[in-house]
Amino acid sequence: MKKLPYYILDVFTHQSYKGNPLSVVWCDDELELSQYYNIAREFGYSETSFVRYSDAEKLLKVRSFTPGNYEVGGGGHNLLGAVSLALLKGWDIFNGQGDEHWVTMKNEKLPVVISEENGLILVAVKQQAAKNLGTISPEIVAPALGLETSDLELNNWKPTIMKTEVAHTMVPVKNRALLNQAIPNPDKLKEISKNYGFEGFYLFTTDVSEGDYLTETRFFNPAYGIDEDPATGTAAGPLAGFLQQVSYINTNQDYTILQGAQVNHPSNIHIRVTPENVLVSGSSVIVMEGTLFL
């Protein structure tokens, strides 16, 4: 019987039992695809990351799977949490890399930046500059979210497909009350995402009433088996890019997005848009660890 160590982290938070829960499994070698699927379903979180270190390439390699048997990429909480785990456990994953640090997700090389703030380790993932892939009519999106078309009237913005590593649709919502009222129809959302060629729906409002948050958000991705995600780095990056492109935020300035309040896992996602890329960062805490049996 093969034994694999596993860890549960809360990502995009510095407090246990908040943020976005992530299971991370350490593997010495690649597993069979069915094993990745089975383990991800067993944990049941929005994503489970599997990590292994390549001595030959001097790289930490990460693969992530949803409970719906999908492998996902991008630089979200699944990658940020995996890197945070390695640093919190003292694993020397950047040995031989020099001043710039890299990891891979689905064999795609992604740069990361490590810093410390108030005793917390912060991991920033450098995402590509955001691309605007077009808009979708509010009349199409609103009913799939249990909302009225008028509920999406915010600063004359339209639901917009944005992409850094992964394409998601940014859905403006008039206020927090309507954001809380959204009730997604999974079948309708799947149909829209399939027809327009993107993954999830990132609802956001600039009507924030607590803290110094830029926006409050919710994320739905039923096509990939994610009902509602407490924190979504692969969507926060595109949202940052969208808000910069419509001149709502400035480049080279730090902002914080609140996500997950509706599912009692509030998450703080830090974003910064530069002329070259989008940085998405946060801290993580380990809440559990144990042994998995294959």
CATH of the domain at 33: 3.10.310.10
Structure tokens at 111: 């740069």
Question: First vs last Cα of the chain: how many Å apart?
Answer: 6
pLDDT at residue 198 greater than cutoff 90: yes
pLDDT of residue 226: 87
Instruction: Based on the fold, state whether residues 103 and 158 are members of the same structural domain.
Output: no
pLDDT of residue 121: 92
Instruction: Based on the fold, state whether residues 143 and 275 are members of the same structural domain.
Output: yes
Mean pLDDT, residues 240-253: 98
**Total residue length of the chain:** 294
Instruction: Based on the fold, state whether residues 184 and 216 are members of the same structural domain.
Output: yes
Considering only 56-60, 126-130, 140-144, 249-253, which range has the smallest mean pLDDT?
A: 56-60
Instruction: Based on the fold, state whether residues 183 and 258 are members of the same structural domain.
Output: yes
β-sheet bridge partners, residue 10: 21, 285
Instruction: Based on the fold, state whether residues 14 and 75 are members of the same structural domain.
Output: yes
pLDDT of residue 285: 97
Q: Which residues of 148-186 are buried (b: 16+ CB within 10 A; e: fewer)?
A: eeebbebeebebbbbbbbbbbbbbbbbbbebbeebebee
pLDDT at residue 210 greater than cutoff 80: no
pLDDT of residue 120: 87
- CA 280-105-216 angle, to 5 degrees, is 30
Q: Are 192 and 144 in contact (CB under 8 A)?
A: yes
Q: What mean pLDDT is reported for the chain?
A: 94
Domain count, the chain: 2
Instruction: Based on the fold, state whether residues 141 and 275 are members of the same structural domain.
Output: yes
Instruction: Based on the fold, state whether residues 164 and 262 are members of the same structural domain.
Output: yes
pLDDT of residue 106: 86
Would you place residue 216 in the very low, low, confident or very high pLDDT band (cuts 50, 70, 90)?
A: very high
Task: Return the amino acid letter for 69.
Answer: N
Residue 105 domain boundaries: 3-127+282-293
Mean pLDDT, residues 247-254: 97
Would you place residue 56 in the very low, low, confident or very high pLDDT band (cuts 50, 70, 90)?
A: confident
pLDDT (tens digit per residue) in 153-174: 999 999 999 999 899 999 999 9
